[in-house]
Structure 1
Amino acid sequence: MNLKHTLDLQRKNILTLVFILIFIWSLFAVNWGDDLVHSGGMATIQQVLEGLIQPDLSKDILLLAVESTWITLAYAIAGMTLAVIIAFFFGIFASGIFVDGKGMKMASKGLFRFVLGFLRAIHELVWALIFVAMFGLTPLSAILALGIPYGGILGRIFADMLNDIPEEPINALRSAGASKLQCLLYGYLPLVKNNIISYTMYRFECAIRSSAIMSFVGLGGLGFQIQLSLNDLKYDEVWTFLFFLIGIVVLVDFWSSQLRKGMHDTKKGAPIVRFSVFLTFLMLAFSWWFIFAIEKASLTDLFSEKNAYYAGQFFAGLFGVGEERVAFFDWESWKQALGLTFETLRMSIMAIGFSTIGMFLTVIPAARNIADGSLTLLGKWYNWILFGFVRIMYVFSRAIPELVWAMIIIFILKPGILPGAIALALHNFGILGKLCAEVIEDLDQGPVRNLALNGASKSQMLLYGVLPTVMPRFLTYILYRWEVIMRTTIVVGFVGAGGLGQQFKMSLSFFHYTDVALLLICYCVLVFIADFISEAARKTAR
């Protein structure tokens, strides 16, 4: 047992060292000797900070912010409706619980997990650009763009939850003569209901941020107003809209936490559960009414002959039908695409490295049991000040989408992968910090308290008691966020932050559809490789 523990520890240490070396290697992608800041970059920083301190609170801007917030929320709710429907059906088939026989089960799992993997591999903004090219500038393009990748993400989680259910209660139902549908309704679903609702609420928070950046393809909402204000260099307006975005993300996060508590305490939590059900149906009704009645979305127009023609032309262009030059048959195009893929990979590594460093520097004071002294038995009055400051920083960081961070940073730094990496790092720093702080809060306090009772200092308790215990979970979250960052690298490239995204947007703008197809192939392969490496590394870290 001791030998196995020693070997596991060595593997984890080697894995950590490899990650550090890879991060250092990624830093060489930036020529640090060059002038990285625009000539007016420092003045821009000053203006951005002034806008943060003194946002525009005029009546017209506040009314516009309220209207844009509702548009953003309506798209997010409608998109999540479609995502839940996709996740429910595809997740069931991807779990294999509806088929008998080992071969059929493996076939069902393999096919539907591949479909879900493809749906979630492509970022929602890329889907939006594709749907706008096919169907035009309609709200349904945004809803499809949100629903498809989020359906892929939720479906994969749903399938995993169904597969992790113990067989005993399901076998008991089968022995009593229950059909597969009855086993699903009375066995599987009640056991995963709470976890599914909890994770769906988290994805709804993410969908709000994604909905905000749909403005990049010309659809309305908070992101559209942020983009307009940035183009006019009105940073006070930018921060007004950002504060509204942060506000709805915080409210959804609070609602989610209260709902989770309510589901675990059936007596005291009944009112919040009933209120949540009522609020959910109310928001669904108003959102779809707004989409069809106010925004004038039409399913018949979406599937009209004109849209079918444009969709056919788009897909024919992707496959190079009637094209003299087909990018994926051209070696020079492959060389350029692979070079951009390599650049995108280095950007993602740099981003997760920056956010990990930020997390390690702030995660200790961000843990509630450190702030109140219950873990280390060393409570200090200033711990709560640090706790509040860091937690606000986490909320602020994660509530602003990567694309918005990139749009701000590109006004300060010259185009390249560095502004993209910083934008990705800023957003993921808040998410990673929150997740890792919660790991410390859930820590078994016994071993750390024993160190305290034996006279260990606070730094010794953290170094020898806390960090060795939480590191495997930290590595798991870091690797998970790296997967997410890999999907998102293409988005920050849309505003000049380098990598595949920059070339993807240019190719789409000039209707070079075979180039688009080639870049999508490279992007999907990169995401699947990242998933594979991350999964293998997580197994080592456990």
Structure 2
Amino acid sequence: MNNLKSTIDYHKKGILTALLVLIFIWSLFSVTWSKDLIHAGGKATMMQIFNSILHPKVTPELIKLGFISTWRTLAYAVTGMTLAFIIAFVFGILASGIMAERDASRKVSKSIFRGLLGFMRAIHELVWAWLFVAAIGLTPFAAIFALAIPYGGTLGRIYADILNDVAKEPIRALKASGATKLQLLIYGYLPLAKVDMISYTMYRLECAVRSSTIMSFVGLGGLGFQIQLSLQDLNYNEVWTFMFFLTALVVLIDLWSNVLRNKLISNKEYKKKFNFNKFSLLLAVVIIIGSWVFIFVADKADFFGLFTEKNYMYTKKFINGLLGAQEANPAFLNSESWAKALKLTYDTLQMSVMAIGFATVAMLLTVLPAARNVADGSLTLSKKWYKWLSFGVIRFVYIFSRSVPELVWAMIIVFIFKPGILPGAIALAIHNFGIIGKLCAEVIEDLDLRPIRNIASSGGTSSQMLFYGVIPTVMPKFITYILYRGEVILRTTIVVGFVGAGGLGQQFKLSMSYFKYTEITLLLICYLLLVVLADLLSEGSRKLSE
């Protein structure tokens, strides 16, 4: 019986893998592959861009500007995450249902708040930013709220899941001692969930830094704004200088997160030694206070100015425009507009599939030498000095590619390729290649080494080890990560369209520029339908791969 189940599971995974490959091939037919895909001077531009990586501009003035821009990027990320944490903490607890007294109220609470969190995170932060700018004007709070809402939705959903997954024995013991719901939360759930909640919050801070970078499209300064200016002036040496600042910031946050998580898990802090946990708490408080002071003092953010009669009229006009209150034939009730929007939705779907396909192929070609147990020879039974070199180079590429937001990659790539879904797919693939590569390399590092060593000891090459030893073992987890990133990519495709990469995003930007608000509503409906479809397909595929 077990053998039959194993055979069925094996065939299910094989069918899923074949299906994913076929879908990727289908997406490739959306592009007419010819020399016309590249601009007339695209090849020369590409060489200039890549040559500039090795020669970033380093002057005292530019370095000073880099530090100032880095701080502004971090400040907006931190202020946005502060509000996101508050939203997530409250909504996450309510979405978990742990505070409800009865089963019926628990189900209602979970349904309402999980649905609300799902809507908040479904719309990309840059789309929220455009909407807030249109509603309340070009204020720092437009960017802060735009970061807070989707990140609050994502954090809240994860917090709810973490709270639901805590060990039940300590909670039952507290209940038996007569603890109230609030006491259960404070002394039971939160201490047990603390490490995972802090760890994921730090990860989302790293993501918020990238999101803060692309807020240059709504007038926010920082690293994204400087990169955009340098690209417009064709100063590629300056572009890479600011890109390296961004990479350094992301790496520092990542290192801080990893060390903090290890300290929290080990729970070993001695009085005579440096207490990293207390230092992290103090540092976090200083950065949060410093960020809000910067927003209010340096950028002159006026919170109470949001509630003026003028802003109320702007917001009312914008909402009425989205609803088509004063339009005889709104786009979302027009069949021709629907046909055009659905075609763009189809293009967006193809772009996302192509992107995850490119990223997966690049990951499979690099993931084996990127694993630490390959570099040190424990997996292959072969120790070569150059394996550490390839490990370091590929891991750096992973870090660099994922540190730079998709939109920034798209801004660079449209200088080489003509507008269309291909440059958007390439930009999305480059960013997600670094994420998938890191995750999958860690899967290989956690492998049971004995079966793989048998292939190596019998004279198997690296390619044979990859296809006959590693991939069959790690494929379920690989597919899980690929599907997860595919879902994220689908939400992000609308953003790369803002710089001419096609799909819903390009039309969304045009509609915003020409104040065609009912078109915006239609595009948002198509976007949300696409996200819901992605969630359903991803969930079904994950169940098939289990």
**Which of 387, 407, 415 lines up with 1:411 in the alignment?**
415
SS at match of 2:101: coil
Amino acid at match of 1:280: A
Amino acid at match of 2:43: M
Measured in 1, the distance between the counterparts of 2:98 and 2:114 equals 13
CA root-mean-square deviation: 1.4
Amino acid at match of 2:416: I
Match of 2:294 in 1: 290
Amino acid at match of 2:24: F
Q: Is the 8 A contact 1:170 1:183 kept in 2?
A: yes
Match of 2:50 in 1: 49
Measured in 1, the distance between the counterparts of 2:116 and 2:168 equals 26
More moved, 265-274 vs 275-284: 265-274
Match of 1:516 in 2: 520
SS at match of 1:220: coil
Residue 397 in structure 1 maps to residue 401 in structure 2: yes
Residue 234 in structure 1 maps to residue 217 in structure 2: no
Query: What is the Cα deviation at residue 44 of structure 1?
Result: 0.9
SS at match of 2:325: coil
Amino acid at match of 2:390: L
Query: What is the Cα deviation at residue 447 of structure 1?
Result: 3.5
Query: What is the Cα deviation at residue 63 of structure 1?
Result: 1.4
Amino acid at match of 1:292: F
Match of 1:300 in 2: 304
Residue 463 in structure 1 maps to residue 467 in structure 2: yes
Query: What is the Cα deviation at residue 300 of structure 1?
Result: 0.5
Match of 1:475 in 2: 479
Measured in 2, the distance between the counterparts of 1:530 and 1:257 equals 31
SS at match of 1:378: coil
Query: What is the Cα deviation at residue 441 of structure 1?
Result: 1.1
**Which of 382, 387, 408 lines up with 1:378 in the alignment?**
382
Measured in 1, the distance between the counterparts of 2:476 and 2:492 equals 25
Match of 1:107 in 2: 108
Q: Number of aligned pairs? A: 542
Measured in 1, the distance between the counterparts of 2:460 and 2:406 equals 41
Measured in 2, the distance between the counterparts of 1:535 and 1:397 equals 27
Match of 1:10 in 2: 11
Measured in 2, the distance between the counterparts of 1:229 and 1:440 equals 39
Amino acid at match of 1:62: I
Query: What is the Cα deviation at residue 51 of structure 1?
Result: 2.1
Match of 2:370 in 1: 366
Measured in 1, the distance between the counterparts of 2:5 and 2:101 equals 38
TM-score by length of 2: 0.97
Query: What is the Cα deviation at residue 162 of structure 1?
Result: 1.2
Match of 1:22 in 2: 23
Q: Is the 8 A contact 1:378 1:458 kept in 2?
A: no
Amino acid at match of 1:248: L
Query: What is the Cα deviation at residue 92 of structure 1?
Result: 0.8
- Residues 369-410 of structure 1 show CA distances to partners (whole Å, capped at 9, x for unaligned) of 111012232222211011011001101111111001001100
Measured in 2, the distance between the counterparts of 1:303 and 1:348 equals 39
Q: Is the 8 A contact 1:507 1:516 kept in 2?
A: yes
SS at match of 1:79: helix
Measured in 2, the distance between the counterparts of 1:324 and 1:117 equals 32
More moved, 406-415 vs 456-465: 456-465
Measured in 2, the distance between the counterparts of 1:462 and 1:55 equals 36
Measured in 2, the distance between the counterparts of 1:339 and 1:453 equals 53
More moved, 175-184 vs 415-424: 175-184
Match of 1:192 in 2: 193
Query: What is the Cα deviation at residue 461 of structure 1?
Result: 4.2
Residue 442 in structure 1 maps to residue 443 in structure 2: no
Query: What is the Cα deviation at residue 275 of structure 1?
Result: 1.5
Match of 1:222 in 2: 223
Measured in 2, the distance between the counterparts of 1:327 and 1:533 equals 28
Query: What is the Cα deviation at residue 167 of structure 1?
Result: 2.3
Amino acid at match of 2:204: R
Match of 2:246 in 1: 245
Measured in 1, the distance between the counterparts of 2:5 and 2:36 equals 51
Amino acid at match of 1:233: L
Amino acid at match of 1:84: F
Q: Trace 1:59-458 onto structure 2 (pairs within 5 A).
A: 59-267=60-268, 271-449=275-453
Measured in 2, the distance between the counterparts of 1:373 and 1:431 equals 24
Measured in 1, the distance between the counterparts of 2:385 and 2:115 equals 52
TM-score by length of 1: 0.98
Amino acid at match of 1:469: T
- Residues 260-290 of structure 1 show CA distances to partners (whole Å, capped at 9, x for unaligned) of 2111222258722122111101101100000
SS at match of 1:432: helix
Distance change in 2, residues 1:245/1:11 (3 Å): same
- Residues 322-347 of structure 1 show CA distances to partners (whole Å, capped at 9, x for unaligned) of 11220111000000010100100000
Measured in 2, the distance between the counterparts of 1:62 and 1:456 equals 49
Measured in 1, the distance between the counterparts of 2:33 and 2:269 equals 57
SS at match of 2:250: helix
Measured in 2, the distance between the counterparts of 1:446 and 1:463 equals 16
- Residues 217-260 of structure 1 show CA distances to partners (whole Å, capped at 9, x for unaligned) of 11111101111111111111111111111110111111111112
Q: Is the 8 A contact 1:493 1:499 kept in 2?
A: yes
Measured in 2, the distance between the counterparts of 1:458 and 1:235 equals 37
Measured in 2, the distance between the counterparts of 1:33 and 1:502 equals 23
Match of 1:500 in 2: 504
Amino acid at match of 2:223: L
Amino acid at match of 1:251: L
More moved, 167-176 vs 386-395: 167-176
Distance change in 2, residues 1:188/1:311 (3 Å): same
SS at match of 1:365: coil
Amino acid at match of 1:176: S
SS at match of 1:213: helix
Q: Is the 8 A contact 1:317 1:513 kept in 2?
A: yes
Q: Is the 8 A contact 1:242 1:400 kept in 2?
A: yes
Query: What is the Cα deviation at residue 348 of structure 1?
Result: 0.2
Query: Unpaired segments of 5 or more residues in structure 2?
Result: none
Query: What is the Cα deviation at residue 454 of structure 1?
Result: 6.8
Amino acid at match of 1:177: G
Measured in 2, the distance between the counterparts of 1:404 and 1:462 equals 33
Measured in 2, the distance between the counterparts of 1:514 and 1:233 equals 36
Match of 1:58 in 2: 59
Quick one: percent identity of the two aligned structures? Answer: 62
